[in-house]
Structure formats: structure tokens, C-alpha cells
């Protein structure tokens, strides 16, 4: 069995008094794509934010390649090799496409925390040729699909070992969703480890190696996509489909 690259143990996160993530364990193996499913408000995004310490968990620990990263400032965690594609395609609207993409490179060059430089501008443009066409355009003027590709490309440019994706297909046309799916497949072939948070179960099942379902802050199902597909009862109960 491959080594788990990202391990989270007993993550508990609160927003004020509300107990959002209630003791979650996660094991992400190198090269694996793990989909985290669940309905709205079940704590998926909070869990992702907790992994990067963007929302500070009250308890629990996160290890990346065996190193304890929980408690580190978010920017240090990012530099250790975790990339985030935030929900809602959060690009930098007043910067051009190319500037958006070159931002992460500048911090790596300055920080030299990690020498790895697999992803270059050219490679991101090859993955998303549309971005090359729009290189000089302000990112805020891109279409929703293009913005989501940009958010994707920007996360890759920080050369992460683990990529966290928070609903990358939210609100996108089916043709763009398919394009995102292709991109994820290509990343998988390149050996990327991915944690994919999704509402779109069908999409997640099509790309993931392993699926978890989250409900009320806890993980209530772990298994393969095939297992989940063959289990209409679980799907109905936790996902409502």
C-alpha cells in the first residue's frame, strides 16, 4: 500500500459555538484522488480550510509527509506543498491572466522552501490553451469557466504535492465541467495527489479513486466510487440522489 502523504487526525473545528467539523480523520495516499461528498453545510469547506489552517481547528493534527503542519501559518503550509483551489473561483480580478499565474512562482523563488518546479507557465498553458489566448486580459473579465481554469492553473503554478479543490465545478456549464474533469485526469496521470470537495456526486465518482461522504461534521461513508454507486441506499440517505 502506498504511503499516506497527507494525514489528518481528529480535526475538530468550531465557528463560535457551532461545532462544524466533529472529529474527522483523513488519509490521502500519494497519487490518490479522494472525493469528499456531502450536502450543503455539512462542513466540507470548513474541513479543507482547517487542513490549511485558514480556519483554525480547535483540536486535531495534520501531517504532510510525516511533518506536523497543523498550527503553522497558512502561508507556510502552502509553501510546504499544499495548493488550494478555493470555492467560487477566487482569482485576482485586477491582474492579468499571466500575472495571476506568475504570482505563486515569485513566492517560491523568494522562499526556496521547495526546489520542485514541475509546473511552468508553458505547461499550464498547454493544459488550458484558452488561458494562453487570454494571457494579457484582466482576469476579472474572463468567463466563469475561464476563471475556474485560471484558479486551477494558479494552484498548479505553486507546484503543490497535494491539491485541495473546493467545488471546482460549481455553477459551470457541462462542457466546462468535462474540461475540468479532463484536467483532473491529466493531473492524476502526472501523479498529483488530490482532495476534491464536491456536491456533484456523479462528477466526483467519475474522477475519484476513493470517496468519503461527510454529514453533520463527520465522515459517514468511506469506500470506492464503485461501492458507492452500487449502494443506492447510502446515496439516498447522505446525498439525496
Task: Give yes or no for residue 150 binding other proteins (CB under 8 A).
Answer: no
Residue 86 or 168: which CB sits closer to other proteins?
Answer: 86
Q: Residues 169 to 228: which contact other proteins by CB under 8 A?
A: none
Q: Is 41 in the site for other proteins (CB under 8 A)?
A: no
Q: Which region, judged by CB under 8 A, interacts with other proteins, from 32-40, 106-114, 178-186, 193-201?
A: 106-114
Cβ count within 10 A of residue 1: 4
Collapsed DSSP state (helix, strand, coil) of residue 75:
helix
Interface with other proteins (CB under 8 A), residue total 28
Q: How many CA atoms lie within 13 A of 69 on its CB side?
A: 24
Out of 103, 121, 138, 239, point to the residue binding other proteins (CB under 8 A): 103
What are 18's three cell numbers? 457551532
Does 106 engage in binding with other proteins (CB under 8 A)?
A: yes
Alpha carbon distance 213, 193 (integer Å): 19
CB of 155 to other proteins, least distance (A): 8
154 sits near other proteins (criterion: CB under 8 A)? yes
Work out the angle at residue 181's Cα, subtended by the Cα atoms of residues 165 and 95, and round it to the nearest 5 degrees.
55
| Beta carbons of 234 and 213 less than 8 angstroms apart | yes
Q: How far apart are CA 159 and CA 238, in angstroms?
A: 34
Residues of this chain that interact with other proteins (CB under 8 A) are 52, 54, 73-76, 78-79, 84, 86, 90, 92-95, 99, 102-111, 154, 158
Amino acid at each position: 500500500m502506498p504511503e499516506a502523504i497527507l494525514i489528518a487526525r481528529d480535526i475538530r473545528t468550531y465557528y463560535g459555538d457551532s461545532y462544524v467539523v466533529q472529529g474527522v480523520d483523513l488519509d490521502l495516499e500519494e497519487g490518490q484522488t479522494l472525493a469528499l461528498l456531502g450536502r450543503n453545510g455539512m462542513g466540507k469547506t470548513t474541513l479543507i480550510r482547517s487542513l490549511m489552517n485558514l480556519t483554525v481547528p480547535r483540536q486535531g493534527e495534520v501531517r504532510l509527509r510525516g511533518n506536523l503542519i497543523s498550527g503553522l501559518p497558512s502561508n507556510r503550509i502552502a509553501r510546504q506543498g499544499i495548493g488550494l483551489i478555493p470555492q467560487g473561483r477566487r482569482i485576482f480580478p485586477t491582474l492579468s491572466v499571466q500575472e495571476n499565474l506568475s504570482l505563486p512562482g515569485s513566492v517560491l523563488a523568494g522562499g526556496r522552501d521547495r526546489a520542485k518546479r514541475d509546473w511552468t507557465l508553458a505547461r499550464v498553458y498547454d493544459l488550458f490553451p484558452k488561458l494562453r489566448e487570454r494571457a494579457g486580459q484582466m482576469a476579472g473579465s474572463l468567463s466563469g469557466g475561464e476563471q475556474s481554469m485560471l484558479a486551477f492553473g494558479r494552484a498548479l503554478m505553486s507546484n503543490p504535492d497535494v491539491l485541495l479543490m473546493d467545488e471546482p465545478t460549481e455553477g459551470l456549464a457541462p462542457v466546462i465541467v468535462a474540461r475540468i474533469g479532463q484536467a483532473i485526469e491529466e493531473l492524476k496521470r502526472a501523479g498529483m495527489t488530490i482532495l476534491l470537495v464536491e456536491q456533484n456526486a456523479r462528477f466526483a465518482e467519475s474522477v475519484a479513486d476513493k470517496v468519503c461522504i461527510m454529514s453533520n461534521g463527520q465522515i459517514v461513508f468511506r469506500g470506492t466510487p464503485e461501492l458507492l454507486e452500487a449502494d443506492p441506499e447510502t446515496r439516498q440517505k447522505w446525498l439525496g440522489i
